[in-house]
Every structure is written in C-alpha cells, then in structure tokens.
C-alpha cells in the first residue's frame, strides 16, 4: 500500500499536515477559476472547487491518488476569502471580532483508476472581542496574507480564538482526520516506518 500522494494545492500548510502524518507528497498547483457562481452556497462552492482542483491535475503513474481541497471562512451567508491588502484584512478581523464564524473545507480524494471520496467539513470558531490595537498589531505582521478570513490559527492568530467546535486542522486548511479516513478507504496508508520518520523529524 502506497503512502505517496499527488497534492493539488499550493498551500504549504496542507503539505505539512500530510507530511506530519507520514505521507510523501508530490505537489502540483492547479489552475482553476475560483469565481463564486450566482446563488451558490459556501458548501457547494468549496465542494465544486475541490473537485475542479483534483480534475486540473493529472495523477502520475507512480502516485495514483490525488488530494485536493478548498477552504473558506463564512459569516452567515457571507464568504470571506483571502484579503487583497491590509485594509481588507483589518475589515475582516473587525467583522469577526467577538462573533462566531464557520470555517468550511471541501476536499476530494481521488484514485486515478476511478474511485472518488469527497466531503465538506465545518468548524465553528468564536473570536474574542478584539481591540483596534490588537487588530492593527496582527495585521502589521503580514500573517493575514494568503489566508481565508485574514488569519492563520496555526500562527500568531492563535490568541484571537476564544473557542472552537470541530476539527482544528480544518481551520489550518485540511481536516486531517477525515482526509486520512478517506485515504484509508482507498487503501492508501502511511507505513509505520514513514510515520516514525515523520515524528522524529519534528522532534
């Protein structure tokens, strides 16, 4: 059973999560149109983009299994994507301050010979009430760049989160428990040696 995967993503966070679990990954960055369609729900949106990303890369003969995902932050019916500049990042964090929002990831695990596993995973997150100073300090770090909702929970933004319900790694960008379960259904599991090596590398 192979533990090599083709990761259809430019996200270093998704790559790191899979590598921590003992998977070897070949990265291919998909080119897809990420425009939201009229009346498309956030769940439908991330599910569609995950499938599009998987379809945009071609599984290689020595890999055979593709993992693709898309993550958004939603506040009610509003989708908060990746801010384009500091002002937008500041506005997003101000809107999230003291409120509950949802992080939603659609992912696809697809074998080149046909079987496809797909799921949408949600995590509820509540931010503490943030002062203007705290928001400005965080924005000034630049960590908001390339992050849905304008924050990275695995970094300095950990102090923003008051509570969460659901998968922590989903907020990072990949609901690891669910992805690993879907990979196992396709017979793709890391060897004990690979898991041990990944653990030793983090020590």
CB 153 within 8 A of CB 131: no
The predicted structure's pLDDT at residue 193 = 63
Closest CA to 152 of 49, 83, 79, 76: 83
* Active-site hit among 33, 44, 62, 70: 70
Q: SS3 of 129, please? A: coil
Domain 4-202 -> CATH class: alpha beta
33 is catalytic: no
Query: Which pLDDT belongs to residue 60?
Result: 64
Tens place of pLDDT for every residue, the chain, 203 residues? 455 799 999 999 999 999 999 999 999 999 999 999 999 999 999 999 999 999 998 766 567 899 999 999 999 889 998 999 999 999 999 999 999 999 999 999 998 777 889 999 999 999 999 999 999 999 999 999 999 999 999 999 999 999 999 999 999 999 999 999 999 998 898 866 656 665 555 55
At 98, is the secondary structure helix, strand, or coil? Answer: coil
pTM here? 0.88
pLDDT of residue 197: 61
- Indicate the DSSP class of residue 111: E
DSSP structure string for 31-60: ----PPPTT--HHHHHHHHHHHHHHHSPPP
Q: Which residues pair with 78 in a beta bridge?
A: 75
pLDDT tens digits along 120-158:
999 999 999 999 999 999 999 999 999 999 999 999 999
Domain boundaries, the chain: 4-202
């Amino acid at each position: 059973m192979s533990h090599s995967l083709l990761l259809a993503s430019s996200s270093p966070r998704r790559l790191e999560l899979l590598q921590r679990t003992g998977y070897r990954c070949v990265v291919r960055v998909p080119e897809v149109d990420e425009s939201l369609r009229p009346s498309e729900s956030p769940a439908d949106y991330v599910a569609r983009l995950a499938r599009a990303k998987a379809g945009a890369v071609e599984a290689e003969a020595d890999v055979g299994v593709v993992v693709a995902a898309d993550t958004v932050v939603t506040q009610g019916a509003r989708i908060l994507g990746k801010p384009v500049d500091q002002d937008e990042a500041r506005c997003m964090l101000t809107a999230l301050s003291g409120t509950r929002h949802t992080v939603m990831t659609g992912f696809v695990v697809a074998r080149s010979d046909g079987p496809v596993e797909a799921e949408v995973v949600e995590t509820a997150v509540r931010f503490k009430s943030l002062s203007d100073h705290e928001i400005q300090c965080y924005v000034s770090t630049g960590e908001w760049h390339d992050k849905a909702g304008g924050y990275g929970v695995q970094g300095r933004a950990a102090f923003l989160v008051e509570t969460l319900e659901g998968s922590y790694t989903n907020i990072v960008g990949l609901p690891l428990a669910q992805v690993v379960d879907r990979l196992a259904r396709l017979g793709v599991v890391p060897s004990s040696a690979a898991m041990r090596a990944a653990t030793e590398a983090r020590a």
